[in-house]
Amino acid sequence: MNRLAKLVLHPHPIRRIAREILKRSGLGTFEHRLQLGAVERPHYGYIVYHAADLARRLGHREVSVLEFGVAEGAGLVNLEEHARQVSRLFDVAVRVYAFDTGEGLPEPVDYRDLPFAWKKGSFPMNAAEVRAKLQQAELILGDVKDTTGDFFARYHPAPIGAIAYDLDFYSSTAAALRMLNAGEQYYLPRVFCYFDDIIGGEIELHSDFTGERLAIREFNETHRDIKIDSAYHLLSRTVVEPWFHQIRICHFLQHSRYNDFVGKEG
């Protein structure tokens, strides 16, 4: 579908046009444009912004943000930009870490990886070119089931407050989700997550029985005190953007700081 068709079919075309004008012109503050969705990849901006905000309210001076699935690196470069902007807003350093095989998708394990939609080698990376574009993000190459295993021991990251999952496969997403078992010291009590591959279209036909959605469902079924759920506050807004459905909040229900008051006084 081309840009004109998307505009004509959009339920709020005037809002979309105004947002595009703001995004292209850079008018207003970053925070204002982010609130209007007038930035590149507003879903990335959203999770980074609120991770840093929560970190600040809890007294942290640093917070980590992860991206799973880098490919050509456009999203990672954009994630770095959001991290820079948000760091200035909250005076909280935002550290970015990104995971990718460096060789495209691995071999699908079985039907759960949707091999009818993706195949081995899809979304390849030129690691040298990606690294040349980065300013501070740490690019970690290898199979996610291996690279997540020693991540905390190798990098000693600040508490993680946001994670973007774009791994396509059930098997890779399930491996990445196991990282949430590392211990509460590595996470904020609530982590803002974005899952890229839970909506799709008529090719993927995502369901709760395949892909990322199955990985999330199985994770919730096997964890009593860590739960990943929808962002209902976004879904209740008057205008619901498609990416609102892709935001999930990971609740560490027994985190020692889960009950710390972070609301506004009065």
In a domain, 1, yes or no: yes
Q: In what order do the strands lie in the sheet with 138-141?
A: 138-141, 93-100, 62-68, 160-165, 187-195, 247-252, 226-230
Is residue 264 domain-resident? no
Say whether both 23 and 154 belong to one domain: no
Q: Is residue 135 part of a domain?
A: yes
Q: What is the rounded average pLDDT of the residues 8-16?
A: 61
Q: Is the domain of 26 the same as that of 108?
A: no
Which three-class secondary structure state does DSSP give residue 228?
Answer: strand
| pLDDT surpassing 90 at residue 244 | yes
Q: What is the pLDDT of residue 2?
A: 62
Residue 262 included in any domain: no
CATH code of residue 83: 3.40.50.150
In a domain, residue 195? The reply is yes
For 42-96, the pLDDT digits (tens) are 999 999 999 999 999 999 999 999 999 999 999 999 999 999 999 999 999 999 9
Residue 10 structural domain? 1-39
How many CB atoms lie under 10 A from the CB of residue 2?
7
The structural domain count of the chain equals 2
User: How confident is the model at residue 59, as a pLDDT?
Assistant: 97
Residue 16 pLDDT > 90: no
Residue 143 lies in a domain: yes
Q: 180 with 56, same domain? A: yes
- Rounded CA gap, 82 and 63, in Å? 13
Strands 62-68 and 160-165: parallel
Q: Are residues 24 and 135 in the same domain?
A: no
Task: Write the pLDDT tens digit of every residue in 192-203.
Answer: 999 999 999 999
Same domain, yes or no, for 131 and 33? Answer: no
